[in-house]
């Protein structure tokens, strides 16, 4: 009795996290994050430099205007009888109250401060803000202009220039102040900064996108090579066929050489195993023939030990062949449903006296990553043992576990096997039922073959009442018609 079903296909995870997640061990993420980091640093530095340069350039222009005002003050200031006289200069903004352009003169005091001498009409009796450390700074930078920011009488932001100079006929120096409203400069600077950061943000997005595309395009041959190697590993191809860029073409060639070398080693191993089989089986057959049917302890001992030797030779030869094939393990796939169908028909015929039923289920596309002969021997031993000890029914179910492995569960409705005896039956030659035919090597051979393919074999209790055997083996996708 056979029945097939559709197997579930696992979709690999994707999304932006593949590219922009934490770098970890991913070369792609490292390249993207490294390039994005350098781009971010460069754009931030560029933004600060451009903004500061624009602001300094605007303030420099204001400084030139203030220097002209200060020079005019110096030229128009005179001393008479020790007093400093500075007439109002002919500059309309300095004559209009709180216009945003101001000037004043002052002289140092013995206490280290400044005493205001004259103000522009635009100050309307108010004074410009003078920092406490300004007199000392002016004295240290005598004759030079010092600029600073302050707040005007109307609350407007000002740019102030101050300079300490000497006048003819006067021993005490005079400090000349000129100030101008810097509101327009601040507004222009903010607008420039906004436009600059928006432009840099857009540029950064474009550059990171370009890096993303460059990494995808640049590393595409590596992704293709990885996919080809995976196809070879999963049995969908025998070798790497595509041509790659000069930097990675040698790698592809080395992989093909390695595949060819592995194939050569496997073939050589098979030859040696075949030669060993012929070399050992012929003497054993001769010994059995010589013992014949003669009676007596010696002939019986020879026959019994020769059969044991024959079983051990068969066991180790199978194990050697399986190890060689599993080590190769490339390009070989076996459709599981075909093997199960063949085995079910054959074993039902072998146990037709008890009217055995082999009920199996497997997805149509389920395939074993290995040779057909090995899968037939593994499943054949398991299903045959289940049929041998069953009352009538044997159930076999197979499918993928989503981790690159296929899981086959073989159950029967027989008496089962106690937990304390399950480890014993896995040993070579172990037989709990001496009345049943066989050499006791079935489960041992299955376990050896399973381990050779990196799989696992476990025993448990079936809900049918008998033994449940769970088999895990590497899976591959069978080619569909």
DSSP result, 282-341: HHHHHHHHHHTT--SHHHHHHHHHHHHHHHHHHHHHHHHHHHHHHHH-SS--EEHHHHHH
Of 65, 73, 80, the C-alpha closest to 175 is 73
pLDDT in tens, the chain (481 residues): 444 443 333 444 444 455 455 555 678 888 888 898 999 999 999 999 999 999 999 999 998 999 999 989 988 888 887 788 888 888 888 899 999 999 999 999 888 889 999 999 999 989 999 999 999 999 899 989 999 999 999 999 999 999 999 888 788 899 999 999 999 999 999 999 999 999 999 999 999 999 988 888 888 888 888 888 887 776 677 788 888 888 888 888 888 888 888 778 777 776 777 677 667 777 777 777 777 767 777 777 877 787 777 776 776 666 666 655 555 555 578 899 999 999 999 998 888 888 889 999 999 989 998 888 888 888 998 999 899 889 889 999 999 987 778 999 999 998 888 877 777 666 544 444 444 444 344 577 788 788 888 888 888 888 888 899 999 998 875 443 3
Contact call for residues 27 and 192 (beta carbons, < 8 A): no
Spatial separation of the C-alpha atoms in residues 301 and 279, rounded to whole Å: 22
Q: What is the DSSP letter of 352?
A: G
At 458 the pLDDT is: 87
Report the Cα–Cα distance between both ends of the chain, in Å, rounded: 23
Contact call for residues 362 and 471 (beta carbons, < 8 A): no
Helices 249-291, 183-233: axis angle to 10 degrees equals 30
Spatial separation of the C-alpha atoms in residues 226 and 212, rounded to whole Å: 20
**Tokens 């061990």 found at:** 25
The pair of structure tokens assigned to 38 is 């350098």
The pair of structure tokens assigned to 64 is 């030139």
Contact call for residues 167 and 140 (beta carbons, < 8 A): no
Q: Which architecture characterizes domain 332-481 according to CATH?
A: 2-Layer Sandwich (3.30)
The pair of structure tokens assigned to 68 is 């002209």
Spatial separation of the C-alpha atoms in residues 445 and 438, rounded to whole Å: 13
| Element of type H or E holding 195 | helix 183-233
Per-residue pLDDT reduced to its tens digit, 429-473: 444 444 444 434 457 778 878 888 888 888 888 888 889 999 999
Spatial separation of the C-alpha atoms in residues 428 and 442, rounded to whole Å: 8
> What residues contact residue 27 under an 8 Å CB cut-off, 6+ apart?
219, 222
Of 305, 366, 311, 309, the C-alpha closest to 341 is 366
At 319 the pLDDT is: 63
At 180 the pLDDT is: 94
At 410 the pLDDT is: 93
DSSP result, 97-126: TT-SEEEEEEEE-TTS-EEEEEE-GGGTT-
Instruction: Tell me the domain boundaries of the chain.
Output: 23-229, 234-331, 332-481
3-class SS of residue 467 = strand
Angle at 363 between CA 359 and CA 369, to 5 degrees: 105
């Amino acid at each position: 009795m056979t029945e097939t079903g559709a197997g579930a296909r696992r979709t690999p995870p994707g999304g932006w996290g593949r590219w922009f997640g934490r770098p970890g061990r991913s070369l792609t993420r490292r390249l993207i994050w490294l390039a994005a980091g350098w781009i971010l640093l460069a754009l931030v530095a560029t933004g600060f430099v451009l903004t500061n340069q624009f602001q300094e350039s605007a303030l420099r222009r204001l400084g030139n205007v203030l220097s002209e005002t200060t020079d005019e003050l110096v030229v128009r200031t005179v001393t008479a009888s020790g007093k400093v006289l500075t007439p109002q200069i002919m500059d309309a903004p300095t004559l209009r109250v709180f216009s945003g352009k101001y000037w004043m003169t002052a002289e140092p005091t013995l206490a280290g401060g400044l005493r205001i001498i004259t103000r522009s009409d635009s100050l309307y009796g108010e004074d410009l803000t003078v920092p406490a450390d300004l007199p000392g700074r002016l004295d240290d930078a005598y004759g030079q202009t010092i600029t600073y920011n302050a707040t005007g009488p109307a609350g407007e932001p000002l740019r102030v220039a101050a300079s300490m100079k000497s006048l003819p006929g006067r021993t005490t120096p005079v400090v000349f102040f000129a100030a101008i409203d810097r509101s327009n400069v601040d507004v222009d600077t903010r607008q420039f900064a906004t436009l600059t950061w928006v432009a840099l943000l857009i540029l950064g997005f474009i550059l990171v996108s370009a890096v993303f595309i460059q990494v995808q395009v640049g590393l595409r041959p590596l992704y293709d090579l990885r996919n080809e190697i995976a196809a070879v590993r999963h049995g969908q191809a025998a070798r790497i066929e595509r041509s790659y860029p000069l930097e990675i073409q040698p790698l592809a060639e080395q992989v093909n050489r390695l595949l060819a070398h592995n194939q050569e080693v496997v073939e050589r191993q098979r030859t040696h195993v075949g030669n060993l089989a012929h070399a050992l089986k012929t003497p054993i057959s001769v010994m059995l023939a010589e013992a014949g049917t003669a009676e007596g302890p010696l002939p019986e001992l020879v026959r019994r030990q020769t059969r044991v030797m024959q079983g051990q030779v068969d066991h180790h030869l199978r194990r050697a062949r399986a190890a060689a094939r599993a080590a190769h393990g490339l390009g070989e796939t076996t459709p599981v449903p075909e093997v199960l169908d063949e085995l079910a028909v054959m074993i039902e015929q072998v146990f037709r006296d008890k009217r055995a039923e082999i009920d199996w289920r497997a997805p149509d596309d389920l395939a074993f990553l290995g040779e057909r002969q090995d899968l037939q021997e593994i499943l054949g031993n398991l299903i045959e043992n289940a049929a041998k000890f069953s009352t009538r029914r044997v159930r076999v179910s197979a499918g993928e576990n989503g981790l690159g492995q296929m899981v086959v569960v073989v159950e029967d409705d027989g008496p089962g096997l106690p937990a304390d005896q399950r480890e014993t039956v896995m040993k070579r030659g172990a037989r709990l039922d001496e009345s049943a035919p066989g050499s006791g090597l079935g489960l041992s051979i299955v376990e050896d073959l399973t381990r050779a393919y990196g799989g696992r074999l476990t025993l448990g209790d079936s809900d049918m009442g008998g033994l449940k055997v769970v088999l895990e083996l590497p899976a591959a996708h069978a080619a569909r018609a």
